[in-house]
Amino acid sequence: MKSYKKSEELFEKGSVNLVGAVNSPVRAFNSVGGKPLFMKKARKSTITDVDNNEYVDFVLSYGPMILGHGNKKVAKSVNKALKKGYSFGASSEGEIKLAKLVCDAFPGVDKVRFVNSGTEAVFSSIRLARAFTGNDKIIKFAGCYHGHADSLLVAAGSGVATLSIPGSKGVPEDAVKNTLIADYNDIASVKAHIEANKDIAAVIIEPIAGNMGVVLPKDDFIKELRAITKENGILLIMDEVMTGFRSKFGGAQELLGIEADITCLGKVIGGGFPVGAYAARNEIMNMVSPLGPVYQAGTLSGNPIAMACGYRTLKQLQKEGVYQGFEARAKEIEGYLLDSAKQYEVDIVVNRFGSMVNPFFTSEKVENFDDAQKSDQTKFGVFFWELLENGVSVPPSQFEAWFLSTTLSDKNMKNTKKAIFKAMEKVSLI
């Protein structure tokens, strides 16, 4: 049995001055039980906790460490930038270089505005969509997470078409009165809102849902969504904070055969530093200050260190064969999950998109948030801790995607396979 003594001590110590001893709720391990682990270092495909337990890392800071931890070329670029200054509060060439890379990677994108987080990118894009269309309402999908802005922390009530209610204390009803909830992969729920409301500014969606686990859109759903938004003068916002540059050099929307009006980015484009962005064609982006009337600002936006890290990360992802390698590794892990579940007679569904993977402990297809919630979270908790015990770290939630890095070795894969089979055997005993 691994010892987590130092993590437990830090949890107690951290609880004095930090809320729950963490700075983001999922780190608290509430959904898997037990106390959170504290990490002290990471290198390539592994991460090490304060008790010196080493794990193959499939969390990867929830996605951005796509090249693994401590990539030499990225570190060299960051160190070079650090010597020149941490923050200028003024423009620098690095912003222009990264902006060109991003715009070239997304068809239909002419300009980008860098911000500091995915949350900031999303609420800025919604403000922009409202200004561009002159309408106030937005449609989001149950189970899609777009950051913690008030208007997006919304849970749907019972029934097909419901009034929005706040999904967090401290969010007033007035803040979400213009947010409508639709069901992922259910185009009828979107059409019902459009028919009942003539003042919809935008529909926002994760092209591949990554916060209810990995859930893929049905082909007819995503293409019809694009068609009906165009027909009704509604902007389509793609939240690619998680999927951007994860499964191809560019966005998931291109793989799905659609093109958004506004794209939100984060994670990988910062390479591990805090970065977000929103981007669109000139007609839309030229409404943003200082060119237009939509105000949005940030002292640390376009931070030179973050720009250097993001640029060097993306340049390495342009290399031939990177994404083919991802596809092969992810398919192997999908196979480990399915084969182990079959061997130990455990009901499981595995959803995968490129380098994002997620197992659900259920026998039914998972195509929306309701489906995801039917999976057995008790089994997932057992599975999670047994993986840790055998040297594999995955997100401490049934509803978070596993992420792969380019640094996964054959040895990592062998250890991961062994850990998955042992964890599945433990689950079968419940």
Q: State the DSSP string of 187-224.
A: HHHHHHHHHH-S-EEEEEE-SSB-SSSSBPPPHHHHHH
41 - beta bridge partners?
A: 48
Q: Is the peptide bond between 396 and the residue preceding it cis, with omega within 30 degrees of 0? A: no
Q: State the DSSP string of 243-278.
A: TTTTSSSS-HHHHTT---SEEEE-GGGGBTB--EEE
What token pair was written down for 100? 């060109």
| Whether 376 is catalytic | no
CB neighbour list of residue 27: distance below 8 Å, 6 or more residues apart? 36, 396
What token pair was written down for 45? 């495909």
| Whether 267 is catalytic | yes
Residue from 4, 145, 184, 311 carrying the catalytic annotation: 145
| Whether 40 is catalytic | no
Rounded-to-integer distance, Cα 298 and Cα 140, Å:
26
Residue from 239, 261, 371, 376 carrying the catalytic annotation: 239
Name residue 106's amino acid. F
C-alpha dihedral, 118 to 119 to 123 to 126, nearest 10°: 40
What count of other Cβ atoms lies within 10 Å of the Cβ of residue 176?
23
Residue with tokens 């500091």: 116
At residue 76, the 3 state secondary structure works out as: helix
Residue from 44, 137, 248, 267 carrying the catalytic annotation: 267
Q: b vs e for 179-209, b when ≥16 Cβ sit within 10 Å of the residue's Cβ?
A: bbbbbbbbbebbeebbeeeeebbbbbbbbbb
Rounded-to-integer distance, Cα 193 and Cα 205, Å:
15
Q: State the DSSP string of 301-348.
A: TT-HHHHHHHHHHHHHHTSTTHHHHHHHHHHHHHHHHHHHHHHTT---
Residue with tokens 């949005």: 296
C-alpha pair distances (Å), 190 with each of 100, 160, 316, 352: 34, 10, 39, 25
**Contact of 202 with 237, CB cutoff 8 Å:** yes
Rounded-to-integer distance, Cα 65 and Cα 268, Å:
7
* Residues forming the active site: 145, 239, 267
